Amino acid sequence: MHNNLKTKLCGMSLNSPIVLLSGCVGFGEEYTRIQGFSNKNVGAVCLKGTTLEPRLGNISHRVCETPNGMINAIGLQNPGADVVINDIMPRLDKAETRFIINISGSSVQEYEEITKRFDDTDIDAIEINISCPNIKEGGVTFGNDPDMSYRVVEACRQNTTKPIITKLSPNQTDIAHSAQCCIDAGTDGLAVINTLMGMAIDTSSRRPVIGNNQGGLSGSAIKPVALLKVHQVYQVSKKHNIPIIGQGGIMSANDAIEFIIAGAATIGVGTALFYNPLVCHKINDGISQYLINNNLNSVNELVGTLELNPVISPCNQK
């Protein structure tokens, strides 16, 4: 691994700025079976979304390919927190990389309980998925309401001493305001962004392809949106020294570099793994070479170095 790729995230020392995203590598064992893959090539692995009790997930189809991306609506299928803690986590090889658990809940109380359970484990950090609907509040999604986001992060903060990373939804009016609320509530990091909501239609049946009718759109199609959201959130997070995991359509080293320039301390790779499971090695090489070419000693020196163009209001133009 290149020495100039070593970085930190919420106090964790990482070999690489790459974080494998939740839902794309299961519980960390799927990709380690691929010949040529090594956890040494990634800084951290974010495990599959986990709820307090087991969930079967949504009806099929759960995944479909779209132009420059994919839509998924898995429905948080998972065996529940106790199985993950007692059966899955002991099998993880923690010598080569860091592991982050992604948690979800349908009430503030569920977030509290699941956070408490993982606080008693050797997991390195906890990522909060606040894109779930709050059943007790009529199904309003936590992540689309800044006040609800605050309540969830605050509840988790009170129940763990581990680093907390909050995954922000792009499906809201003011993501920077939401980021500030999460920072005020005690988050240690921010993941920007979660998937955009999308739909695909089967013209033969005139029905949605996805069994859940709609799902989360990921892949290179959402990259321009994700870049802007990272830039917007960075304007808030840099004031508090809160790191960002930039994610959304990163398929190459150049994509990753764009996110770092926009303000991401680390970058998340997900959908790209479906196209090329060994893409992380190429991304690492590309970032390292870019740093060398630009006389930079570390990824941190590149974070947030975006220089905006001067903007002239149309009203002032002659």
**pLDDT of res. 237:** 98
Q: Are 240 and 225 in contact (CB under 8 A)?
A: no
**pLDDT tens for each residue of 233-249:** 999 999 999 999 999 99
**pLDDT tens for each residue of 16-58:** 999 999 989 899 877 767 766 777 789 999 999 999 999 999 9
Q: Are 183 and 241 in contact (CB under 8 A)?
A: no
User: In 3D, which of 112, 140, 59, 50 has the Cα closest to residue 86?
Assistant: 50
Could you give the CA distance from residue 14 to residue 70 in angstroms, rounded to a whole number? 29
Query: In this structure, how many other beta carbons lie within 10 angstroms of the beta carbon of residue 85?
Result: 19
DSSP for 231-297 reads HHHHHHHTTTT--EEEESS--SHHHHHHHHHHT-SEEEE-THHHH-TTHHHHHHHHHHHHHHHTT-S
**Comparison of pLDDT for 214 and 316, the residue scoring more:** 214
Indicate which CATH number applies to the domain containing 240. Answer: 3.20.20.70
Our count of domains for the chain comes to 1
Is pTM beyond 0.85? Reply is: yes
Domain with 216 in it: 3-316
- 3-class state of residue 99 by DSSP: strand
Examine the residue annotation and report whether 132 is marked as an active-site residue of this protein.
yes
**pLDDT tens for each residue of 59-82:** 999 999 999 999 999 999 999 999
**pLDDT tens for each residue of 137-196:** 545 578 889 999 999 999 999 999 999 999 999 988 899 999 999 999 999 999 999 999
Catalytic option among 10, 132, 182, 280: 132
